[in-house]
Structure 1
Amino acid sequence: MTFAQHHLDLPGDAPGQTTRLYWYTVGPETAETKVHLQAALHADEQPGTMAIHHLLPMLRDADATGKLRARFVLFPSVNPLGLATRVLRRHIGRYDLENGVNFNRRWPDLYPAIAESVKGKLGSEAKADVATIRAAVGAWIDAQSPVTAGQKLRLHILKSAHDADIVLDLHCDDESLMHIFTSPDLMPGLQDLADRMGVAATLTAEDSGGGSFDEVLPNLFRKAQRANPDAAIPMACEAATLEYRGQADTHDAFGILDAQGLFDFFVGRGLIDLPPSAPVTPAPGPTPFEATEVLRTSKPGLLAYRVELGQEVKAGDIVADLIAMDGPEAFVGRTPIRAGTSGFILSRASAKFAVAGSAVAKIVGKDILPSRAGGYLLED
């Protein structure tokens, strides 16, 4: 058996602090394909952790019978630093409380960091070009001098993922249907993942504006391709953010279902030599993320929704009312919040008290919105 648990102790930024990161490896070390799978980078998003909890024994059992054809690296809870960010009984696992940075933002732009080191070394052999790029990234990571625990954690995660062929980052939304974020040039290649997850939407963007983890490696190879048009550089990493419903949807039943979907995805890719558990049901095809409206409030108030998840709306339809909480109409007046596009409701806010600028819903449409084109696409 190759199934093994590992850990790394991260010295804290204050005296007496140490945080332990756990991960697992399973499958042949010499396998041609490497899969990096992580959950809870936003440490308060636990459905992915539940899914990996159920996936680990499935992979362990398949390994015991010699059925694995890939090397799997799995981080069930990849951000132990974020697990500790609790304030007054509330988990603030989305942001680093030291600097306010979202844990899934500002990941490095790798190609500029290695451009000089690969200059003149890329040619007509795709496999050799990938190896050259990955070796340069690995050397760049090793040359860094991280100071804080957060910096050390990020470099460790990146070191694990940089040479993986498939990188899946498991997240969840607030209150939401299942969906995926990925790069447009990775579709329809990842349609099999969307099908096995049973997603309501796959939202694509080359650059959503925040330096998200799932964009790091596709951007590396995309920029390498554009800078070296005569080289045979493939898109050597399929990366995606998997949004497993909402934060409250951390249940065994969902975890079992989601683990089986991931397992069957790997089976379908030939990475596990077993039959799938069930026939696949096709999911909707990809949609540009720029066609998804993030509907926001213009003032504070109490949200009263008029729509359910998955409900179709037209531009101008009322998605929610905002009950006034100050002024002459306090606790009496209601202001309608209207959809700015036609589509379906992908997500809503679970916390119904909204301040000015709060995200109310994501509406997945078909047409790119002028206000979204080329802008910052994330809710953050």
Structure 2
Amino acid sequence: MTFRQHHLDLAGDAPGQTTTLYWYTVGPDDAPTKVHLQAALHADEQPGTMALHHLLPMLRDADAAGKLNARFVIYPSVNPLGLATRVQRRHIGRYDLETGVNFNRRWPDLYPQIAQAIAGKLTSDTGANLALIREAVGAWLDEQRPVTAAQRLRLHILKSAYDADIVLDLHCDDESLKHIFTSPDLMPGLQDLADRMQVAATLTAEDSGGGSFDEVLPNLYRKAQRAHPGFPIPMGAETATLEYRGQADTHDAVGAEDAQGLFDFFAGRGIIAASPAPAQPAPGPTPFEATEVLRADRPGLLAYRVELGDRVKKGDVVADIIAMDGPDAFLARTPLRAGTDGIILSRASAKFVAINASVAKIVGSEILPARAGGYLLED
């Protein structure tokens, strides 16, 4: 058996502080495929942790039966620093309280760091070019000297993921249907993952603007391809952010279903020797630029007129905002209208909203001019 638990003690930024990161490896050390799975990078998003809790024993048992054809590296809760950021009984696991930086933003742009190292060394051999790029990234990562605990954690995660063939980052939304974020270069290749998850949408973008973790490796290979058009350079990693519904949807039975979906995805790829049942087709990819992030144009109390999954047309009322000040305080209701045709993918669970707060995501099919080339994330 190769199922092993590992841990890393991260020295904190104040005297006497230490945080322990746990992860597991399973599968043959010499397997041709490496899979990196992580959950709760936003540490207050737990549905992915529940799914990996159920997936771990499934992989352990498959390994004991000699059925794994890949090396799995699994971080059920990849951000122990964020687990500790509680303020007055509220978990602030999305942001580093020291810097204010979102834990899933500002991941490095790797290609400029390794461009010189690979210059003049690429060949007509696709596999050799992939190995060269990975070697250069590994060497650059080894040269880094992180200072803070957060920097050391990020470096450790990158060292685990940079040479993986499949990298899945498990998250959730606020109140939401299941969906995926991935690169357009990786579709329709990852449609089998969308089918196994039974997502409501797969949203694609080359660069959503925030330096998200799932964009690090696709951006590396894409930039290498564009800088060296005469050489065969593959998209060396299939990466995606998997959004498992909403924060409140951390349920044992649901996590078991999500784990089975992941297991069946890997089995369908042949990296687990098992025969999964056929999957029902999920919707195909949609440019993230076609998704409206509907924002409140005034503060107040939300009264939704739509449910998750409802289809709306441009101009339909998604919610009323009940006034909480002024001469008509707690009487007036101002409609907030959809700016596109599409389905309601997510809503805000907190019903008091500040001005410009995200209220809903509406997945349409037409790229919205205000979204094209802009910052696509809610943050």
TM-score range, shorter chain: over 0.9
- Aligned equivalent of 2:350: 351
Q: Residue type matched to 2:326 in 1?
A: G
- Aligned equivalent of 2:120: 120
Once the two structures are superposed, residues 217-237 of structure 1 have per-residue CA deviations (whole angstroms, 9 ceiling, x without a partner) of: 000000000001111100110
- Aligned equivalent of 1:214: 214
CA distance in structure 1 between the partners assigned to 2:123 and 2:206 by the alignment: 25
- Aligned equivalent of 2:312: 313
CA distance in structure 2 between the partners assigned to 1:323 and 1:98 by the alignment: 35
CA distance in structure 2 between the partners assigned to 1:121 and 1:33 by the alignment: 24
- Aligned equivalent of 2:33: 33
Aligned length: 379
- Aligned equivalent of 1:238: 238
CA distance in structure 2 between the partners assigned to 1:75 and 1:186 by the alignment: 23
Stretches of 4+ aligned residues off by more than 3 angstroms: none
Shift in Å at residue 123 of structure 1? Answer: 1.3
Shift in Å at residue 240 of structure 1? Answer: 0.2
- Aligned equivalent of 1:22: 22
Q: Structure 1: which 5+ runs fail to align? A: none
CA distance in structure 2 between the partners assigned to 1:131 and 1:19 by the alignment: 34
Do the aligned partners of 1:178 and 1:243 also contact (CA within 8 Å) in 2? yes
CA distance in structure 2 between the partners assigned to 1:34 and 1:147 by the alignment: 29
- Aligned equivalent of 1:298: 297
- Aligned equivalent of 2:269: 269
Do the aligned partners of 1:123 and 1:230 also contact (CA within 8 Å) in 2? no
- SS state at 1:8 partner: strand
- SS state at 2:129 partner: helix
- SS state at 2:8 partner: strand
Q: Residue type matched to 1:88 in 2?
A: Q
- Aligned equivalent of 2:159: 159
CA distance in structure 1 between the partners assigned to 2:287 and 2:10 by the alignment: 39
For the aligned residue pairs, the C-alpha RMSD in angstroms reads: 0.4
- SS state at 1:36 partner: strand
- SS state at 2:180 partner: strand
CA distance in structure 1 between the partners assigned to 2:130 and 2:296 by the alignment: 46
Q: Residue type matched to 2:81 in 1?
A: L
- Aligned equivalent of 1:61: 61
Q: TM-score, normalized by length of structure 1? A: 0.99
- Aligned equivalent of 2:101: 101
- Aligned equivalent of 2:373: 374
Once the two structures are superposed, residues 81-114 of structure 1 have per-residue CA deviations (whole angstroms, 9 ceiling, x without a partner) of: 0000000000000000000000000000000010
Shift in Å at residue 279 of structure 1? Answer: 1.7
CA distance in structure 1 between the partners assigned to 2:84 and 2:222 by the alignment: 36
- Aligned equivalent of 1:224: 224
Q: Residue type matched to 1:354 in 2?
A: V
CA distance in structure 2 between the partners assigned to 1:13 and 1:299 by the alignment: 39
- SS state at 1:271 partner: coil
Q: Residue type matched to 2:139 in 1?
A: A
- Aligned equivalent of 1:169: 169
- SS state at 1:232 partner: coil
The reply on whether 1:330 has 2:329 as its aligned counterpart is yes
CA distance in structure 2 between the partners assigned to 1:23 and 1:172 by the alignment: 20
- Aligned equivalent of 1:361: 360
Q: TM-score, normalized by length of structure 2? A: 1.00
- SS state at 1:219 partner: helix
Q: Structure 2: which 5+ runs fail to align? A: none
- Aligned equivalent of 2:2: 2
Q: Residue type matched to 1:128 in 2?
A: A
- SS state at 1:60 partner: helix
Shift in Å at residue 7 of structure 1? Answer: 0.3
